[in-house]
């Protein structure tokens, strides 16, 4: 019987691969990253229309994503408010955040809440 020299051996690829990064790593959202996301949310809501995404990025951490307003404004406590989604990309992992913001008496959009969407 003939055998192949080691240099010509078949490589199956079943050993030596690193496991993929879990998506849960992206849900560890830092307050510094949230500050950039909140600023982008205010900008996205100021621009108006549903579906107008605005990118955001924290230059110190490299984390970023997009903010997308979801629906028309609704009234809450006499204020005009809107809901939005935010993508959160940290390295190879991604998560989604949900939030809402209301327009202040001065006309600025203020984010009331912004939190990761639970996966289960």
Q: Read off the pLDDT of residues 29-72 as tens digits, 9 standing for 90 and up.
A: 888 999 999 999 998 888 866 667 889 999 999 999 999 998 88
What are the distances in angstroms from CA 110 to CA 33, 38, 45, 88, 100? 16, 8, 10, 19, 9
Is the pTM of the predicted complex or chain greater than 0.75? no
C-alpha distances in Å from residue 117, one per residue of 10, 13, 100: 45, 36, 13
Domain edges within the chain:
25-116
**4-19 residue pLDDT tens:** 454 444 444 444 444 4
Higher-confidence residue of 104 and 12: namely: 104
Quick: pLDDT tens for 65-81: 999 998 888 999 889 99
Q: How many helices (H) and strands (E) does the chain have?
A: 1, 6
């Amino acid at each position: 019987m003939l055998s192949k020299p080691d240099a010509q051996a078949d490589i199956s690829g079943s050993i030596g691969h690193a496991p993929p990064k879990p998506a849960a790593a992206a849900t560890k959202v830092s307050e510094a990253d949230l500050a950039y996301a909140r600023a982008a949310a205010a900008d996205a809501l100021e621009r108006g229309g549903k579906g107008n995404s605005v990118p955001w990025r924290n230059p110190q951490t490299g984390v970023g994503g997009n903010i997308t307003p979801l629906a028309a404004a609704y009234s809450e406590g006499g204020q005009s408010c809107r809901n939005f989604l935010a993508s959160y990309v940290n390295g190879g992992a991604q998560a989604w955040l949900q939030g809402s913001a209301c327009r202040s008496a001065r006309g600025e959009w203020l984010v009331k809440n912004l939190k990761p969407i639970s996966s289960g």
